Structure 1
Amino acid sequence: MSWTWEYVFGAEEAARTAPPAFLTEIERKADELVRAAEAQYLHGPAHDRDDPKGDDIVVPGGMFSYQIVVRSERVFVVQITYLGY
């Protein structure tokens, strides 16, 4: 298995209508989260503790919420909020 990220829940639907520049910023930050999680949790499937608490990240144009699931080696983008600034 290899670390990656994906949209889930309503974020996937919201991403279909969000501006491309905003989505590019989300994807850039999600890639950074994947690299950080991969470095911190080297043996993801063998992880035997609780997953870390999710958080929100502000990007130009809005924000997004994410959750890391270590055993699945995934960063899930669970919500995106486009504010248009």
Structure 2
Amino acid sequence: MSWKWEYAFGAEEAARTAPADFLTAVECKADELVRAAEAVHIHGRAHAGIDPKGGDVTVAGGMFTYQVVVRSERVYVVQITYLGF
């Protein structure tokens, strides 16, 4: 399995109505988070500890909240907030 990111919970529904340029910014940052998680957790499937704390990321137009699940080798975008700035 390789590291990927995906929308979780209500973020997928919110993404359907968000502007394309905002979603592009979210996807770009999510790709960066995936690369960072993959570099830090080289043996993700064998991870025995707790998952790292997620966080909030500000992007052009709003922000999103993410969570890293190491054993699944996933970065989940759990909430997106479009503010229009």
> One fold, TM greater than 0.5?
yes
Q: Give, in angstroms, the shift of residue 84 of structure 1.
A: 0.5
Q: Which amino acid counterpart does residue 53 of structure 2 have in structure 1?
A: K
What's the secondary structure of 2:66's corresponding residue?
A: strand
Which residue does the alignment assign to 1:25?
Answer: 25
The aligned length equals 85
Given residue 3 of structure 1, which amino acid in structure 2 is its aligned partner?
Answer: W
Q: CA RMSD in A?
A: 0.3
1:18-70 Cα offsets, whole Å, 9 max, x none, are 00000000000000000000000000010010000010000010000000000
Q: Runs (4+) of structure 1 moved beyond 6 Å?
A: none
List runs of 5+ in structure 1 lacking aligned partners.
none
Query: With structure 1 as the length reference, what TM-score do the two structures score?
Result: 0.99
